[in-house]
Structure 1
Amino acid sequence: MKTRLIISLCAVALLSAGCKSSGTGGFSLVTNSKLALGTAAGAALAIHLIYDPLAPNWEIEETRLSDDSYQLSMKMKRFHTGGAGEALQLLKRRALQLQQEQGFAGYQIASYSEGVDSQTLSTRRVAEGTLRFVRHEVADSFALNGSY
């Protein structure tokens, strides 16, 4: 975040420096170019700080309910340009990561819901899911348990 802020401030400083003389007999579309350039740079900086295009679209809060179950609560950022339908995909991706990290054979989505959280300034998409992980014995669909 600090590097983006420093880069943004350097860009504003470079843009606002401009040329000292406009030349002779030139044609200008903007009468007060310093004001227009400063306003445009300030607006661009404000949009970048509010929108932050490099930030992830979703923030995930993970709660471990027991040894083999988790609850994931996801909130989408307020200002975005896409990713509204990613919640289930994100839940499955995180479930697969947890499954591989902890050595489970599979997972089941016990519950899943999506909604919209209305607040004063704007709304944001929210999703919640409960995951239950299964061990090798439970995941064996033919009940052979390794005897084949």
Structure 2
Amino acid sequence: MKRVALLLSAVLVTGCSLPLRMVPDNPIPISNSFQPPLDGVVAGLVIGAAAWYVLDPKAPNWEVKTMRLDTERVEIRLRKKRFSTGGDGEAQWLFQQHAREIADRNGAGGFQILSYTEEIDSETTFARRLTRGVVRLLPPA
């Protein structure tokens, strides 16, 4: 993600310093009173596409990773998107749902939560929520 942001920044800075006009600024005649310049429309579309890529409202709010520690224990890590609309209170529910799915998939009789933590990762300007925990798979009943 950092590479994409760096590349996008470099392209934008380079584009702003070029004397050539890649897109003519001819007005688009939509109506007599509204004729936006073509370069403004193109710039708006590019900025909108970049914002959509970063925000991506249809993407899941949480990224889930699981790692098998041994035959009985599984670590579950949840990482929330930096930019999201809602989903702040669903970490524990989502953690338990994934633990239940793992137990069902492995034929276990259930699971026991051995550890569970919620954190805020603020490595950049925008913080993100992290949740991690370890569950023990119980033998079948």
Common fold by TM > 0.5: yes
Match in the other structure for 1:104: 108
1:78: Cα distance to partner?
Answer: 0.9
Picking from 71, 74, 95, the partner of 2:99 is 95
Aligned to 1:43: 47
Map 1:8-19 onto structure 2 (within 5 A): none
In the alignment, structure 1 residue 22 sits paired with structure 2 residue 29: yes
Whole-angstrom distance in 2 between the partners of 1:73 and 1:41: 36
Q: 2:89 maps to which residue?
A: 85
Deviations 1:54-82, CA, capped at 9 Å, x for gaps: 22211122111111111111111111112
What are structure 2's unaligned runs of at least 5 residues?
A: 1-22
SS, match of residue 100 in structure 2: helix
Aligned partner of residue 136 in structure 1, secondary structure: coil
TM-score (norm 1): 0.69
Contact map agreement 2:28 2:37 (CA 8 A) in 1: no
* Cα drift, residue 117 of structure 1: 0.5
- Contact 2:28–2:38 (CA<8 Å) still a contact in 1? no
Task: Note the C-alpha offset of 1:21.
Answer: 6.8
Aligned residue number for residue 6 of structure 2: none
* C-alpha distance in 2 between matches for 1:117 and 1:21: 46
Other-structure match for 1:121: 125
- Post-superposition Cα deviations, 1:84-141, rounded to whole Å, max 9, x if no partner, equal 112111111111111111111111111111010011232110001111111135xxxx
Bigger Rg, which one: 1
Match among 54, 57, 69 for residue 58 of structure 2: 54
Asked if 1:71 corresponds to 2:75, the answer is yes
Letter in 1 for 2:32: F
CA distance in 1, matches of 2:86, 2:48: 20
Taking structure 2 as the reference length, the TM-score comes to 0.72
